[in-house]
């Protein structure tokens, strides 16, 4: 079935003689019982509001369709989705191997919190092959964390090869699937054990709700994830779940529009004299293009742009000159955004080679020619300030 159908079909199921299309937002800590005898029984469904209501159940089901998963869990943020997934896969004394281009707060969790639990984290070059990753594993390695493409530098990993090689050694694999939004990559179909994503990005799609999802097929792993969520007391507000569900219904229609515009912007940028390289795997010039083409069915709207040499002030002046790009973190909403990212790269162990500042662009749903004109005037200023023009 077409992705657009799969994300909508459950919305019209005949579950009641008459009902609204969308589930109600039920705000509830307490769920009242008609009789004391059902107080501790699960027969009537969850006994406490923390387990979520109808909107959570409908969202989880729709996300299962999206990720081709048996079970999907919700988390209050994308970062929480990653940390829950990691904690479910490891024990004290274990080691996790993490791609160096991981979203940096995920890295921070590995370096700070995992360490406190006696779990070591090591960081691998983002373009390491499956064999190279296996060579970095020890007998303590229990989890490999991929992010494909990686944050800021957009390297693609060979999910299938890594998952197969890891499974043969009893190591689980987790993929941060936020960039592909669950639409353009199905990590579970490629053998990964867990696909997690920030729903705050494309699924929500409107820059107004936080959320995360953790998708799995293995019932044992599902039980461990369920336990982590319950034991740590995680909860997703019904308002946020409702907003994400609303966004999810149009995700498969919005994403191709982001892709069309982003590809046009990326191709255009690549030809500009102020630009060294556009980091976007859908570009045929990308070193990851072959893997991307094999495993992904499309590209979203987020890319990196390495500029010719210039100072921090030059890069900030470029951002300030843009009229159609907001300057702020996060991405995946309808709006175009731009950020200067050099400070985040310094946290990496394996420094990417580059000569100039790194800008991150999110290409939104505005008219693409307007975005290109805006970028052109910004690059004119950058070129003048840096003496390139």
Task: Give the footprint of ligand PLP on this chain (CB under 6 A).
Answer: 77-79, 103, 147, 151, 176, 178, 198, 200, 210, 212, 330
Contacts of 122 (CB under 8 A, 6+ apart): 95, 96, 97, 98, 136
Minimal distance, residue 106 CB to ligand PLP, in Å = 7
Q: How far is the CB of 84 from ligand PLP (least distance, A)?
A: 12
Closest CB to ligand PLP among residues 198, 279:
198
How many residues does the structure list for the chain?
A: 389
Beta strands in the chain (DSSP E): 71-75, 95-99, 120-124, 141-147, 172-176, 194-198, 212-216, 275-279, 302-307, 326-327, 337-340, 358-362
CB-based closest residue to ligand PLP: 78
Instruction: Work out how close the CB of 201 gets to ligand PLP at its nearest, in angstroms, rounded to a whole number.
Output: 7
Nearer to ligand PLP, 71 or 151 (CB): 151
Indicate the residue among 203 and 269 with the shorter CB distance to ligand PLP.
203
CA 284 to chain centroid:
23
Cα angle for residues 245, 331, 63 (degrees, 5° grid): 25
Structure tokens at 296: 């992904």
Distance CA 112, CA 315 (A): 31
Token pair recorded at residue 168: 């043969």
| Residue 149: cis peptide before it, omega within 30 degrees of 0 | yes
Task: Report which DSSP code applies to 351.
Answer: P
CB 174 → ligand PLP: shortest distance, Å?
Answer: 12
**Residue 207 CB, nearest approach to ligand PLP (Å):** 11
Closest approach, Cβ 351 to ligand PLP, in A, equals 19
Closer residue to ligand PLP in complex, CB, 106/386: 106
- Nearest Cα neighbor of 152 from 346, 386, 355, 382 is 346
Query: What is the Cα–Cα distance from 278 to 305, expressed in whole angstroms?
Result: 5
For ligand PLP, the closer of residues 175 and 278 by Cβ is: 175
CB of 330 to ligand PLP, least distance (A): 5
Long-range contacts of 343-349 (CB under 8 A, 24+ apart): 344/104, 344/151, 344/152, 345/152, 345/153, 347/104, 347/107, 348/100, 348/101, 348/123, 349/100, 349/123
- The 10 Å Cβ neighbour count of residue 250 is 14
Of 110 and 134, which has the nearer Cβ to ligand PLP?
110
């Amino acid at each position: 079935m077409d992705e657009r159908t799969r994300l909508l079909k459950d919305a019209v199921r005949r579950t009641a003689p008459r009902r609204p299309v969308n589930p109600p937002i039920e705000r509830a800590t307490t769920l009242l019982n008609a009789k004391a005898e059902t107080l501790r029984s699960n027969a009537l469904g969850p006994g406490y509001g923390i387990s979520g209501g109808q909107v959570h159940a409908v969202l989880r089901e729709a996300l299962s369709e999206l990720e081709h998963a048996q079970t999907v869990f919700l988390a209050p943020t994308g970062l929480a989705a990653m940390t829950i997934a990691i904690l479910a896969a490891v024990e004290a004394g274990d080691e996790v191997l993490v791609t160096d281009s991981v979203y940096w707060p995920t890295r921070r969790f590995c370096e700070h919190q995992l360490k406190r639990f006696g779990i070591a984290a090591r960081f691998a070059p983002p373009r390491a092959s499956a064999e190279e990753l296996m060579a970095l594993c020890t007998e303590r390695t229990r989890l490999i964390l991929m992010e494909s493409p990686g944050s800021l530098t957009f390297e693609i990993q060979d999910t299938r090869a890594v998952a197969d090689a890891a499974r043969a050694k009893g190591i689980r694999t987790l993929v941060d699937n936020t960039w592909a939004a669950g639409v353009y990559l199905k990590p579970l179909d490629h053998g990964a054990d867990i696909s997690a994503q920030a729903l705050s990005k494309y699924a929500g799609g409107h820059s107004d709700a936080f959320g995360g999802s953790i998708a799995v097929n293995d019932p044992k792993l599902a039980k461990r994830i369920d336990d982590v969520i319950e034991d740590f007391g995680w909860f997703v507000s019904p308002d946020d779940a409702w907003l994400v569900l609303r966004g999810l219904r149009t995700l498969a229609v919005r994403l191709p529009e982001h892709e069309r515009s982003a590809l046009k912007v990326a191709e255009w940028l690549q030809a500009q004299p102020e630009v060294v390289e556009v980091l976007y795997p859908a570009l045929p010039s990308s070193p990851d293009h072959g893997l991307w083409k094999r495993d992904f069915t499309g590209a979203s709207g987020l890319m990196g742009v390495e500029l010719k040499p210039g100072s921090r002030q030059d890069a900030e002046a470029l951002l300030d000159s843009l009229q159609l790009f907001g300057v702020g973190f996060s991405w995946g909403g309808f709006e175009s955004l731009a950020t200067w990212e050099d400070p985040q790269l310094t946290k990496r162990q394996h420094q990417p080679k580059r000569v100039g500042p790194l800008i991150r662009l999110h290409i939104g749903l505005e008219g693409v020619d307007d975005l290109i004109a805006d970028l052109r005037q910004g690059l004119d200023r950058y070129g003048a300030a840096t003496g390139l023009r």
